[in-house]
Chains A and B, each alone.
Chain A
Amino acid sequence: MSIVQVSNLRKSFGDLDVLKNITFEIEKNQVVAVIGPSGSGKSTMLRSLIHLEQIDGGSVSVGGQDLVKEGVYANHQELKRITSKMGMVFQHFNLFPHLTVKENLELAPKYVKGEQGDQIAQRSTELLKKVGLSDKANVYPSKLSGGQKQRVAIARALMMNPEIMLFDEPTSALDPELTGEVLQVIKQLAAEQITMIIVTHEMGFAKEVADKILFMDQGEITESGTPEEIFMNPKSERTKAFINYVLK
């Protein structure tokens, strides 16, 4: 059974229909890359999955539980429980600037889950090692490079042991020479078979890491398939044009 199921998702901002009729499924352990021109609704779609946006119609279920069913949301507690299965990484990191790296990682496990201090400390040490920032534990985010910040943000999300990780253009705010270190961490997660949905403009990365690609255009998923299908034999002219444009 699919870990994420989205059907007929609709969302508008005022008069603007941003998501028109989004339907897709994601299997457990799949890595899905979402590509498409800017303004096509990729972020809004991703944010809808974790309830950062309120959708106007359709259904979203995560781990077999309905977040929204035909436009009707689950109750507050259910929402919390379902969204807690997901972790999210933002384009602009959104680290807590008043807390050190270690504190950024440990705040949620401590206050949201009420976990034990030593247990949390052990995990934060492990995760910082994993993202290659063991030496930055006691540093404030203002002292980190963009790439380091994003790696901290990834570790912070992983602290909550999510079943699914959502990434919204994790490297778009970075200088080109810093994207590699972040993509490397995400690749590592892919190798560990963590289910991920990644909105990205890094086509090479999408091709390499994704099991499935969704191409979005003007609020719709106009094409989906394996990287080979999308990159080698795009069916629609729009997809073809976009791929040609970004690969150029």
Chain B
Amino acid sequence: MMSMDYLFTITIPMLEGAKMTILLFLIAVIASIPLGFVITLMVKSAIKPVAWLANFYIYIMRGTPLLLQLLLFCFGLPMLPLIGEYLVLDRFVAACLAFILNYAAYFAEIFRGGLLAIDKGQYEAAQVLGFSRWQTMRKIIIPQMFRVALPAVSNESITLVKDTALLYAVAVPELLHFAQTAVNRDFTIIPFFVAGIIYLLMTLILTWVFKQLERRLKFE
């Protein structure tokens, strides 16, 4: 059973599944980071109701399991009275939405922490040089905030790679789905190991990418 041929035959469909994993990861990261930043700005807003709304959003998203949110988006929304029939989304699309909205809340918290780390002297220096509030944010605060937040963003992104396995629960065929199918069919745990190695490869690449980014942005 442990021939190269066998490994090959199970790995091909798993790589197919990994495509779905990677696609979800990319969509979620690319959309949730900017969205998370917008939420951070809302939390910081001087308009109180905006700040409350953003805080409430973060509370809900972080306070409930991602799996619950995923199930809600894939199966729950269509059950809503009146509007439900318009909310029958493709399951992958629904899953992407759930991931984006959930991760945006985590990224928002990370960026908030990044903002807190910036000395108030930076704002004061910017003010006396005549920068507007928006210029101060864009040219001085945000670049530093991203730098401070980078290790945490990296960490969260790695968690996201692994969380993509939750697609299994809503029957979108991704990496883990193919592994499980092979395990059941062939009665061997090898496919699980192969899946593990593929996840490790993905997180390894991601870690490397973030390390490069951190090195680039060392400001030394």
Contacts and interface: CB of A to CB of B under 8 A. Distances in A.
Judged by DSSP, the binding face of A is loop
Contacts of B124: 52, 90, 94
Contacts of B130: 80, 83-84, 108, 112-113, 160
Given A52-B128, A96-B122, A98-B143, A112 B135 contact: yes
B199 interface: no
A83 B129 CA distance: 9
Contacts of A140: 219-220
| Most chain A CB neighbours (cut-off 10 Å) among B128, B147, B220 | B128
A156 B122 CA distance: 13
B125 interface: yes
B188 interface: no
Contact of A94 (B122, B135, B139): B122
- Give the contact-size bracket for chain A: 20 to 34
Judged by DSSP, the binding face of B is helix
Contact of B139 (A86, A107, A157): A107
Contacts of A113: 130
A122 B219 CA distance: 24
| Most chain A CB neighbours (cut-off 10 Å) among B119, B125, B147, B217 | B125
Interface string B98-130: 000000000000000000000101101101111
Nearest to B130: A112
B140 interface: yes
Interface in B195-220: 217, 219-220
B69 interface: no
A128 interface: no
A97 interface: yes
B131 interface: yes
A80 B127 CA distance: 9
A92 interface: yes
Contacts of A88: 128
| Most chain B CB neighbours (cut-off 10 Å) among A52, A97, A107, A142 | A97
Interface in A129-158: 140-143, 156-157
B144 interface: yes
B118 to A, nearest CB: 10
B145 to A, nearest CB: 10
| Most chain A CB neighbours (cut-off 10 Å) among B122, B124, B125, B129 | B129
Contacts of A80: 130
A51 B130 CA distance: 11
Contacts of A52: 124, 127-128
A112 B131 contact: yes
Contact of B135 (A111, A141, A142): A111
B125 A98 contact: no
Contacts of B219: 97-99, 140-142
Contacts of B119: 92, 94
7 contacts: A52-B124, A87-B128, A96-B122, A96-B144, A98-B144, A108-B130, A140-B220
Given A51-B127, A98-B219, A112-B129, 8 more contacts: A83-B128, A90-B125, A94-B124, A96-B125, A99-B219, A107-B140, A111-B135, A142-B220
Q: A-B pairs with the 7 shortest C-beta distances?
A: A94-B125, A94-B121, A108-B129, A112-B130, A88-B128, A140-B219, A98-B143
